[in-house]
Amino acid sequence: LAVASASEDCTVRVWDEASGACLQVLEMPGCAWAVDWLPPLSSEGRPRLVTGTSDSVARIWEQKGASAGVDENVVAAFQAAVEERKAAARKGQEAAEQGFSPQGLKVEDISALKQPGGKDGQVKTVRDTDGKTYAYQWSVISLKWECVGEVVADPGQGQGAGGDMVAPDKMFDGQHYDYVFDVDVQDGVPPLKLPYNRGENPYEAADRFLLAHTLPASYREQVVQFIIQNTGGAGQAAAAAAAAAPSSDFVDPYSRTRDNEVKVGEIRSLLAKIKASYPEERATVALKTLNAYCLNLLKQPAEEKFRRIRKSNAAFQQRVASLEGGEGCKVLELVGFRTDDSGEFYVVNEALFDRKAVEATCSELGR
């Protein structure tokens, strides 16, 4: 018997189940995300292998000689894509060894962080002792360099699959974006940051932006048009906007769309239950408190004080935890809060944090 595995090193491997020996390595054009066995086409045939990779292609593999109808052009195109990925990886490695990322960013030694920054928000990219490259930003408040995140390959291409390195100016709240626009909302006021990813629904990005900065909903269409006009690919953004209401029968296996819809539905039910089950004043205070927790997370997701709630805090106990049905605590858990090991705090669990659920909560409470 054989076992197959998929890996983000852009390979699929076939193993002997008994000995654990690797029988074959299949090079892929991108990260291998899924692999499974398919039944043989006939009683005398052998099982086939199906693979799913980050280039959005599913491929079916048969043992050599099992099929005489293989298109040589398809094979050649596949091999060319694999070689292109390898060449890009070699190029990136050579650039990294010379101290530059593929985008030409100067990568300094970690010792560069011993010198203070020249201004608030100054960014440096450094190579740490683990060999990885990180972006650091100078803070005049803490008077130290704060790590923004690792400089990695464009997630749309996959590690070593030809993707450019993500520049620090395309990072926002510790996340990588294809675009981070400066939006002037008012004269004399610093521009607001509008993050956007290619292929994202512009309406969702606009709603997130308006909610984060407490701007009126009347700006929504303006923001959408701004995104479409400034992404350099209006057709793609416009198509994403037109697809704002996809069929409920289609679910991207990597986006967990349906799970998110269920979670948002649970949150709405809990908020409605609070409104209906408790005296108006008590319900209003509870909902405003939950709204404050979620808004703070949206506006400053990296701020530690907004990522933890002391369970013994008098205001929390009185306004949220005291709800007899536990609805308030259930809402916090649905957006990603969990009790820490000490049992004294609710803290944001990175693996469970759901920004869309937080946005939905704020949207519902803002009505």
Residue 290 pLDDT > 80? yes
Side chain identity, residue 84: E
CB atoms near residue 78 (< 10 Å): 15
For residues 215-223, give the mean pLDDT: 76
288 against 184, higher pLDDT:
288
Task: Choose from 28-42, 77-91, 114-128, 349-363 the range with maximum mean pLDDT.
Answer: 28-42
Tokens representing 50 are 């199906």
62 against 166, higher pLDDT:
62
pTM: 0.34
pLDDT band per the 50, 70, 90 thresholds, residue 228:
confident
CB-side neighbour CA atoms (13 Å) of 33? 14
pLDDT band per the 50, 70, 90 thresholds, residue 71:
confident
pLDDT band per the 50, 70, 90 thresholds, residue 246:
very low
Residue 28 pLDDT > 80? yes
pLDDT band per the 50, 70, 90 thresholds, residue 191:
confident
- 301: alpha, beta or left, given left = phi > 0 and alpha = psi -120 to 50? alpha
Q: What is the pLDDT of residue 25?
A: 93
Q: What is the pLDDT of residue 238?
A: 53
Least confident segment among 27-36, 135-144, 316-325: 135-144
246 against 362, higher pLDDT:
362
Q: What is the pLDDT of residue 123?
A: 77
DSSP for 180-213 reads EEEE--STTSPPEEEEE-TTS-HHHHHHHHHHHT
Q: Which helix (H) or strand (E) holds 223?
A: helix 220-230
For residues 189-202, give the mean pLDDT: 81
For residues 178-186, give the mean pLDDT: 76
Q: What is the pLDDT of residue 366?
A: 64
- Residue 204 to residue 194: CA distance in whole angstroms: 12
For residues 193-220, give the mean pLDDT: 81
68 against 27, higher pLDDT:
27
Residue 217 pLDDT > 90? no
Q: What is the pLDDT of residue 234?
A: 45
- Residue 136 to residue 144: CA distance in whole angstroms: 10
- Residue 37 to residue 17: CA distance in whole angstroms: 14
* Spatial CB neighbours of 256, under 8 Å, sequence gap ≥ 6: none
Of the chain, the percentage scoring pLDDT greater than 70 comes to 76
pLDDT band per the 50, 70, 90 thresholds, residue 162:
very low
Task: Choose from 15-29, 109-123, 172-186, 348-362 the range with maximum mean pLDDT.
Answer: 15-29
Q: What is the pLDDT of residue 21?
A: 92
Q: Considering the chain, what is the average pLDDT of its residues?
A: 77
For residues 280-302, give the mean pLDDT: 87
Q: What is the pLDDT of residue 154?
A: 44
Question: How far is the CA of 91 from the CAs of 69, 96, 97, 113, in angstroms?
Answer: 36, 9, 10, 27
- Residue 246 to residue 159: CA distance in whole angstroms: 29
For residues 165-182, give the mean pLDDT: 66
- Residue 267 to residue 361: CA distance in whole angstroms: 7
Side chain identity, residue 207: D
Q: What is the pLDDT of residue 227?
A: 80
Residue 85 pLDDT > 60? yes
Q: What is the pLDDT of residue 300?
A: 82
